[in-house]
């Protein structure tokens, strides 16, 4: 049976193809629009990270509107929720102390939504750990474990867990402290993170302590870290 010989079927087929094309165009428009707003947001955040002294609340609020528009067009994109969390963090850092906790809670909510949509993404768990330690919340151990579970060799996770762990050393258990030193060792060894990690530890007076823990534990670290060897000479 040929469709061309049955006008009703031919019309239904054309209608179906037309509707499919319209639906495809509809979603393509929304996804493209969302990606444009998200890309602009990401570029702003990257710029702020490198030039933090010049960031204003007005710039942050403008960027927040952009990422919220991205989420209006694509509400279930995990990375967009993560970007929203970053913007809320900047709001917290630049705003008044009175509003800081509520803005950190907004960041936490955005990161949790991102983690719900993409539970194996280690960077988001590391972001949650940063927020939770500031809030002195009850889920520090959970977020620490999840970040370590999904990103043991991820440069950002290495940097975040080592920095948070060393700065809040007293709140972590002995097994967690071993993991913290693991991440510090990897952060100092990886070409993407070692320069920043070295400067961070040095400027915060943590370099010799950290390097001593790395170098003088031959049972766990089979390779000596050259940066640490020089720091301890």
Q: Which helix (H) or strand (E) holds 206?
A: none
**How many other CB atoms are found less than 10 A from the CB of residue 24?**
10
According to the model, what pLDDT value does residue 225 have?
74
- Contact present, 154 and 182 (Cβ < 8 Å): no
As a whole number of angstroms, the distance between CA 120 and CA 111 comes to: 13
Overall average pLDDT of the 13-24 stretch = 57
Q: What's the pTM?
A: 0.85
As a whole number of angstroms, the distance between CA 206 and CA 199 comes to: 10
Q: Among 118, 145, 177, identify where a domain stops.
A: 118
Domain that holds residue 195: 153-233
Is residue 107 located within the same domain as residue 176? no
- Whether 139 is covered by a domain: the verdict is no
- Count of domains observed in the chain: 2
Report the mean per-residue pLDDT for the chain.
88
Half-sphere exposure of 215 (CA within 13 A, CB side): 15
- Whether 158 is covered by a domain: the verdict is yes
Counting other chains too, the contacts that 51-56 makes at CB distance below 8 Å and 24 or more residues apart are: 55/90, 55/94, 56/94
For residues 144 and 225, the model is more confident at 144
According to the model, what pLDDT value does residue 3 have?
46
Reported confidence tier of residue 32, pLDDT bands at 50, 70, 90? confident
pLDDT digits 0-9 by tens, 142-191? 999 999 999 999 999 999 999 999 999 999 999 999 999 999 999 999 99
**pLDDT of 140 above 90:** yes
Q: Indicate the Cα dihedral angle 74, 132, 150, 69, nearest 10°.
A: 10
- Whether 195 is covered by a domain: the verdict is yes
pLDDT digits 0-9 by tens, 97-109? 889 999 999 999 9
- Whether 128 is covered by a domain: the verdict is no
According to the model, what pLDDT value does residue 120 have?
98
Overall average pLDDT of the 66-81 stretch = 95
- Whether 41 is covered by a domain: the verdict is yes
């Amino acid at each position: 049976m040929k469709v061309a010989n049955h006008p009703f079927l031919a019309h239904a087929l054309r209608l179906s193809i037309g509707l499919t094309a319209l639906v495809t165009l509809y979603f393509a428009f929304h996804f493209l629009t969302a990606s444009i707003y998200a890309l602009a947001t990401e570029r702003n955040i990257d710029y702020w990270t490198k030039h933090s002294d010049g960031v204003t609340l007005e710039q942050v609020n403008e960027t927040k509107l952009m990422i919220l528009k991205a989420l209006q067009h694509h509400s279930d994109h995990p990375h967009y929720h993560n970007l929203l969390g970053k913007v809320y963090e900047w709001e917290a850092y630049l705003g008044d102390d009175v509003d800081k906790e509520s803005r950190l809670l907004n960041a936490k909510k955005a990161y949790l939504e991102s983690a719900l949509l993409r539970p194996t993404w280690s960077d988001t768990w590391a972001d949650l750990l940063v927020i939770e330690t500031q809030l002195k919340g009850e889920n520090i151990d959970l977020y620490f474990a999840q970040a370590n579970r999904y990103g043991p060799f991820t440069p950002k996770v290495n940097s975040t867990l080592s920095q948070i762990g060393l700065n809040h050393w007293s709140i972590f258990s002995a097994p967690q402290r071993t993991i913290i030193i693991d991440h510090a060792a990897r952060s100092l060894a990886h070409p993407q993170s070692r320069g920043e990690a070295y400067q961070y530890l040095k400027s915060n007076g943590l370099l010799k302590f950290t390097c001593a823990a790395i170098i003088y534990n031959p049972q766990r670290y089979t390779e000596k870290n050259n940066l640490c060897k020089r720091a301890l000479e």
